[in-house]
Amino acid sequence: MADWVEACAVDDVDEEDVIRFDHGGRSFAIYRSPEDAFFATDGFCTHEKAHLADGLVMDDIIECPKHNGRFNYKTGQAKGAPVCVNLKTYPVKVEAGKVMIDIG
C-alpha cells in the first residue's frame, strides 16, 4: 500500500548530488540525477553502516563514503565488491516543488 511522504523541497538537492532524509526511525537517501530526475534509496550502505548521503554521486552511481562501494541509485544494483547486496529503492514523485517518496 502506497505511503507517500514529503522528503524535501526540489531545491534542497543539488544536481548530481544526494541528501539524507530520516522518517519514522528509518533513513533514506534522496538523489537528483544529472538529468534533473529524483530517486530514493535506503540511506545506509548494504555492506556496512555508512550513510550514502555522505557519498559521491557520479552519473547514475552513488559511491559509499566508507569503502567506495558503488550502487546504481536508479535501480539499487550493487556494482561489485565490497558491495554485494542490492540497495532498496523507493518510488519518487515531484509535486508542487516537493519531492515525495513512497515508503510503503
Partner 1 sequence: MTTASGTKRDYSLVGESTRRAIETGLASAEWYHTDVARKTMKELMQRSDSPAIRDTMIWIIAILGSAAGIVWFWGTWWVVPFLFVYGVLYGSSSDSRWHECGHGTAFRTRWMNDVVYHIASFMLMRNPVQWRWSHARHHTDTIIVGRDAEIAVMRPPDLLKAALAFTGILDFRYSLPTLVRQAFGTLSDDEKSYIPQMEQHKAVIAARWHMVVYAATIAVAIALRSWIPLVLIGLPRLYGTWHMVLTGLLQHIGLADNVTDHRLNTRTVYMNPISRFIYWNMNYHVEHHMFPMVPYHALPKLHELIKHDLPVANPSMWHAYREVWPVLLRQLKYEDFYLKRELPPTAKPYRGEFHDLDITAAAAE
Cβ neighbour number for residue 74 with a 10 Å cutoff: 16
User: Of 69 and 76, which has the nearer Cβ to partner 1?
Assistant: 69
Give, rounded to a whole angstrom, the gap between the first and last alpha carbons of the chain.
Answer: 6
Angle at 21 between CA 25 and CA 34, to 5 degrees: 150
Residue 10 C-beta: closest distance to partner 1, Å: 18
Residue 1 C-beta: closest distance to partner 1, Å: 33
User: Of 43 and 100, which has the nearer Cβ to partner 1?
Assistant: 43
Q: Which residues bind partner 1 (CB under 8 A)?
A: 17, 47-49, 54-56, 58, 63, 65-68, 70, 79, 81-82, 84
